[in-house]
Structure 1
């Protein structure tokens, strides 16, 4: 009895799975990217190819309701954004920049969050956006590793990243994170500090890796010793834990912290261990969050124009959607050092001057 019914069960299970873009591509005998271009209304598609793809869409019932909406207008006029769930304020500011720029040109934004940087989680977020017929995607997560499915999705849908990560098909609007670290470290060395300690972000984040490397190279270029790296996770709590360690190291006079939020935790720990800022230890953060200028003391930091990055990502994504054959060099957004009261010359240098 079970042998007779099992094929029916399998067919029922298959019927519950809606056809995907790859199914349409297989039936039409084209690539998934060509299917995406037909459904997005790209002009540079041969008419016979367009007819073949639309016939496959009709045959398979591919996202019938949503596909019908797209085909009636030729465009979905929607941009997808992949971002981290419960990420720091920087992620929200990038998303706000994307939304403002998209709305200004008549596009809506659909956000898919991922709980982690695991490739399967990022793949799931991209797949959700692809199923909504977005015309393009801004990948606002630090994608260091990819898999075959992520490569396929970013090839089939125009994609721009905003953090320097890339797949084979993505375009990048990047902040030079090594330059971020250089500005912070060079500022402290120029004040007269012999070396600079570093509280780094998590190693799976590309921007954290690049800041760590920029810090190290700046010290080495100046002929200064490179202290051991302390590991953080972007949270104020991790900055606090590392601050308790640094506060008990007598020869520490300067610290470059990979984010403002960690820097605030570190400031609290230094206060509790009796180390004054900036009299005993100078501290530089990254991001220039809204609280930075209201700290005690106000925090010297490297500002990143997140809204500008989001807006530039939209500009380049729309160019990729409407004119896919033009590939200008993507921009690198320049960071800016904001000097406040948390940095000063070391006491020995101040006393000698």
Structure 2
């Protein structure tokens, strides 16, 4: 009988402790984590558990779980309790078990990266990599991870993986059939530098503005005969192709300057375009990409054309090695960090089902002036 009463009293005390914690968020006991165990955790010799965090912060494991998962329904916690939990997490280096969390929340915490392209040497395109790396860092703050799926290969770069994902990040999405494939998958997605359907959001560079910045810069130096050069590409349907070309035409017309014959052409041999521009007495070139600019520099060296003395040169993409060439290239820089931040916010909101009706966002590029653009000879 005495044992039963003691058990009942002890049970009531435990219930009262948990009830008070649940209602007020008050920290009941002080830290109960033994110093020996604490030393092992802080030294990294042992992996921290949810119970360790609870003992160090002086609350129940259920309170820790609710704080870390942002659970608020029927539950409130005082700021000092939340702070104690988060400080314990930081001190112990606690990492939640992703598999267990996924089972509870019915979410994977994984975002599939689609459409990452590679050059002939197997190297991923630089700007795409920069965007993905910056996104990965930011998304971890929301407990989300990016995953690049290789299984479908180059034949199906926008095919979703076989395992469940919370969303997708599509790079350079240009074809309607690829857009429809992602739409039919029914997952939230963000399209970077590409198109998006009704269920996605598109984050683009304002390429028309980029062309305007380039033309305005050259005109300010005194150039009037400015050629635009675009190389032939496997991806001529990319939105930037038309936008940069159209931006050049609009900017030239705004300055009442003639469009050079190369502006609406694509060239398998960039050398032909440069020769045509030179024959038309052009004094400056705006080229589609930094790859094109490197070909122009090589050809100019071969034929004895001096850049920028004989021909100024400006390109899109402030990517390696434009700051290491001779001369260093004036370029239109794509705002990859801002694009990554916006894309991360959009996909996080979509996964969390936050309301929003934004379909497309354009980010402004930046003109980086270096040594390859000067006033034309004679001015």
The residue correspondences of 1:164-183 to structure 2 (distance < 5 A) are: 164-183=194-213
- Aligned Cα root-mean-square deviation (Å): 2.8
In structure 2, the partner of 1:80 is: 112
Q: Equivalent residue for 2:45?
A: none
Structure 1 unaligned residues grouped into runs of 5+: 1-42, 44-66
Partner of 2:372: 342
Write the deviation string for residues 164-213 of structure 1: whole angstroms up to 9, x where unpaired: 42223211222111111111122112211112111225422211221111
Deviations 1:209-231 (A, max 9, x none): 21111111111222211122342
Kept after mapping to 2: 8 A contact 1:305/1:335: yes
Say if 2:275 is the partner of 1:245.
yes
More helix by share: 1
Answer with 291-300 or 105-114: which moved more. 105-114
CA distance, structure 2, for counterparts of residue 324 and residue 299 of structure 1: 43
Q: 1:271 aligns with which of 294, 297, 301?
A: 301
Say yes or no: does 1:145 pair with 2:160. Answer: no
1:309 alignment counterpart: 339
For the 8 Å contact 2:114–2:171, the answer to whether it is kept is: yes
Query: Are the structure 2 counterparts of residues 327 and 168 from structure 1 closer, same or farther at C-alpha, using a change threshold of 3 Å?
Result: closer
Answering whether residue 315 of structure 2 is matched by residue 285 of structure 1, we say yes
For 2:188, the equivalent position in structure 1 comes to 158
Aligned position for 2:20 = none
Larger radius of gyration: 2
Question: Could you list the per-position Cα deviations for residues 50-101 of structure 1 after superposition, in whole angstroms to 9, with x for gaps in the alignment?
Answer: xxxxxxxxxxxxxxxxx99844442100111112331531121122122222
C-alpha displacement at 1:147, in angstroms?
A: 5.7
TM-score, scaled relative to structure 2: 0.65
Alpha carbons of structure 1 residues 232 and 115: separation in structure 2 relative to 1, 3 Å = farther
Cα distance in 1 between the residues matched to 2:192 and 2:334: 12
Q: How many residues align?
A: 272
Other-structure match for 2:147: 110
Query: Does 1:211 pair with 2:249?
Result: no
Aligned position for 2:266: 231
Q: Secondary structure at the match of 1:309?
A: helix
The match for 2:127 among 46, 66, 90 is 90
Answer whether contact 2:115 2:173 (CA < 8 A) is retained: no
1:297 has 2:327 as partner: yes
**TM-score, normalising length from structure 1?**
0.69
Any conservation in 1 of the 2:135–2:340 contact (CA below 8 Å)? yes
Q: Is the 8 A contact 1:243 1:267 kept in 2?
A: no
Superposed CA deviations along residues 139-185 of structure 1, whole A, max 9, x for unmatched, are 1114143368425336x100111114222321122211111111112
The counterpart of 1:135, out of the listed 148, 163, 166, is: 166
